[in-house]
Chains A and B, each alone.
Chain A
């Protein structure tokens, strides 16, 4: 089982610090933590989380709250947990309820992951080639299916490059 949980001593343990700057701290730390296969996800994750962290109340024009540091830290931890250098990094988007969603829409894969609580992720997967069944579940702690979908993306991306 691949577990997903907050590690307060990890590179993402910045939830209790101030806004914006902690993202920099976390990501700078991640430069060391995100070594090996996950390295190419670092910069886009850093840029997106920094932008999300700076959103102010009403950013969606309908009164959405700022994104909580807790969710930003959770997103950072999750990205580290599932990163696969072969796969494209996710688009990280804020949601009007103050959370974050990870999205991939490439290589005939439609994958979305919504952080719905500290422990729960809503995962929606669709393979447009029909090789794998559609999947919509809430994952608690165990992110094994998500890792498999990211691996599929990585394999298809690599296959595309190879040939």
Chain B
């Protein structure tokens, strides 16, 4: 059975996910920082993977980087709603008091799904330094 999905969220919508420093991994094979597949997990309380809708932030006059407010040292990656749906996930709005643009990517996060998210995630705010040892 497919998970719930909100069709009013377009496939091109950018879903923003914070990445804590300990889930940023230097990949020597690609010579680039990546978000660990572990960053693309559902919440431990059983709800889906929390994200912020880029369009939702924009509607409030805010930039994507606003999703990082209060989280110094974190990175921010973006995937699209279309990518999530292609991995049999649903995207639903779930605004909270602290984030009116909050949404969830719902559905089982298998290794295949997490890898697809990792490979297609784009850094909005990436790690500093640009590579290990550049500090």
Contacts and interface: CB of A to CB of B under 8 A. Distances in A.
A105 B37 CA distance: 12
A91 B39 CA distance: 14
Contacts of A145: none
A120 interface: no
Interface in B8-24: 18, 20, 22-23
Nearest to B74: A61
Interface stretch (B25-33, B56-64, B85-93): B25-33
B23 A60 contact: yes
A155 interface: no
Contacts of B80: none
A110 interface: yes
B111 A94 contact: no
Q: How large is the interface on A (under 10, 10 to 19, 20 to 34, 35 or more residues)?
A: 20 to 34
Nearest to A96: B41
A105 B28 contact: yes
A118 interface: no
Interface stretch (A20-28, A32-40, A62-70, A76-84): A62-70
B59 to A, nearest CB: 22
B27 A105 contact: yes
Contact of A61 (B18, B30, B38, B115): B18
Contacts, number: 73
B50 interface: yes
B38 A93 contact: yes
Interface string A131-155: 0000010000000000000000000
A92 B75 CA distance: 18
B43 interface: yes
B111 A96 contact: no
28 contacts: A51-B22, A52-B22, A60-B23, A61-B71, A61-B74, A62-B43, A63-B43, A64-B44, A65-B44, A93-B23, A93-B25, A93-B38, A95-B41, A97-B42, A101-B36, A103-B25, A105-B25, A105-B27, A105-B28, A105-B29, A105-B34, A106-B27, A106-B28, A106-B29, A107-B29, A112-B37, A114-B111, A124-B115
Given A61-B71, A96-B43, 10 more contacts: A52-B22, A55-B22, A59-B20, A61-B20, A62-B18, A62-B50, A94-B23, A96-B44, A114-B38, A122-B111
Interface of B: 18, 20, 22-23, 25-30, 34, 36-39, 41-45, 50, 71, 74, 111-112, 115
